[in-house]
Amino acid sequence: MEHQVSFSGHLIFIGFGTIARAILPLLLSQEHIPVKRITVIAPIIDHNIWFKERGIRFVRQALTEHSFVQVLDRVVRQDDFIVNLSVEVSSLALITYAFDRGALYLDTCVEPWAGGYDDPRLELSRRTNYALRHDVLALRKKLGKGPTAVVAHGANPGLITHLLKAGLVDLALQLNHPLPQNRDGVDWARLCMETGIKVIHFAERDTQVSHRIKQDDEFVNTWSVEGFISEGSQPAELGWGSHERTWPASARRHRFGARNAIYLERPSASVRVKTWTPLGGPCLGLMITHHEIASTADLLTVKKGQSLVYRPTVHYAYHPCNDALLSIHELIGRGWQTQRQERILNSEIESGGGDALGVLLMGHALNAYWFGSILSVDEARALVPFNNATSLQVAAGVLAGVVWAVEHPARGIVEPEQMDYERVLEVARPYLGTLVGQRTDWTPSGNHHEASGEGAVEDWQFEHFTRL
């Protein structure tokens, strides 16, 4: 199927970190949309010779609450596209700005202004991704129809939602279960309920290794250090399932919004959960908070009137690369005092490692089923310059989101759940390595799966995933 697009605008990137350097070569080499002019706005710009040689303009400037309008007005015009890949720049402010200027917009997560994650004036509930998403939904209602603004569309959040839908279709085919329909297409919530899914992990395992070992007082990661620390220091969050029988220690409910998710009075990087991926099998992941826990909980909720009928428990379960895991442990041990040095792994990564990014669907007749992308660092390097396996998965999500927005330029504020998953994956697919669907008999409780029927409710209680 051919997609006719018309885009003659200017691409403006906010931020020049790992993901910006990953996506720019990808944009310059793809054929989905024409790229004529690119401007990058960031407070720190380094290693930019390759990019300057290709005509990219750089503006060395920080965007603050008081200066961003003045800075952006110098470069943004109607029908341009603002791609926000920064930290500590308010997504709400930029979405509103883009709407007023008639520009398209995309970000990879919903960010507050600097200090928003740990503002002592805000109660803990208001420092969550649930709260940030609630504010985005309120802004969507206020702004109404207008230029498309795609929120939270990198690898996860973003690409993971489309992998979830593809995985659910794949599982339904294996179970010989028809796809229930509603006016929007597949009724994803009813499909999950009818197939017996009780828990969904956005389960990721990063096995990339550097030949330079992590040093004391150094934070090492395969993607943004600042982004990982900010997510990891926010409260742990999860969509709360209707099958759950035991209330977690330190768990709290929100007093506003859809109330489909809960949070723990603990930093998300300190909460360990058992999970499984095809890359290494069982492992301990970190329950890092993400936008998709609440947006997916919305997508997969079944209600009768005001009464909850069904919802799976959903959350992220992330085993970062070993050096990043050591870095997080060191950070927590230092009382969240950040390390003096930071390093993003790229050229020094040894051959052979990779990143498995997917969804683990649990509790149905096949016990558990993982579906997602397994991309090796060698494949990533061969495909696009300045990338490792993790950054290219994010870049693929950004590219697919940008293409979709250009093809649908007047949708207003859009979350990944409102996008066409097949089109998004069509654009991203060449950069995702191998798409894998694999079942496993693994359970967090250690009980053996009986092939004759669905796993017992007891096997899929949240307490089993956190009990070490």
Query: Which string of DSSP letters, residue by residue, matches 60-90?
Result: E----TTTHHHHHHTT--TT-EEEE--SSS-
Residues 6+ apart with CB under 8 A from 60: 42, 43, 44, 45
Distance CA 191, CA 310 (A): 11
| Other CB atoms within 10 Å distance of the CB of residue 145 | 8
Helices (H), 175-291: 188-195, 225-233
Q: Characterize 14-33 residue by residue with b for buried, 16 or more Cβ atoms within 10 angstroms of its Cβ, and e for exposed.
A: bbbbbbbbbbbbbbeebebb
Beta-strand relationship, 185-186 and 218-221? unpaired
Domain 10-150: CATH class, spelled out: alpha beta
Distance CA 368, CA 276 (A): 9
Residues 6+ apart with CB under 8 A from 348: 210, 211, 212
pLDDT, position 406: 96
Helices (H), 6-128: 18-29, 49-52, 68-73, 91-101
Domain boundaries, the chain: 10-150, 159-388+430-466
Judged by DSSP in three states, 282 sits in strand
pLDDT, position 447: 78
Residues 6+ apart with CB under 8 A from 343: 212, 218, 219, 220, 221
Burial of 456 (0-12, 13-18, 19+ CB in 10 A): middle
Distance CA 115, CA 117 (A): 6
Fold held by 159-388+430-466: Dihydrodipicolinate Reductase; domain 2 (3.30.360)
pTM, 2 dp: 0.96
Between vectors from CA 26 to CA 60 and to CA 376, what angle results, nearest 5°?
Answer: 115
pLDDT, position 116: 80
Per-residue pLDDT of the chain (468 residues; tens, 9 = 90+): 556 577 889 999 999 999 999 999 999 999 899 898 999 999 988 766 888 888 899 999 999 999 999 999 999 999 999 999 999 999 999 999 999 999 999 999 999 998 888 788 889 999 999 999 999 999 999 999 999 999 999 999 999 999 999 999 999 999 999 999 999 899 999 999 999 999 999 999 999 999 999 999 999 999 999 999 999 999 999 999 999 999 999 999 999 999 999 999 999 999 999 999 999 999 999 999 999 999 999 999 999 999 999 999 999 999 999 999 999 999 999 999 999 999 999 999 999 999 999 999 999 999 999 999 999 999 999 999 989 999 999 999 999 999 999 999 999 999 999 999 999 999 999 999 999 999 999 999 887 666 444 556 788 999 999 998
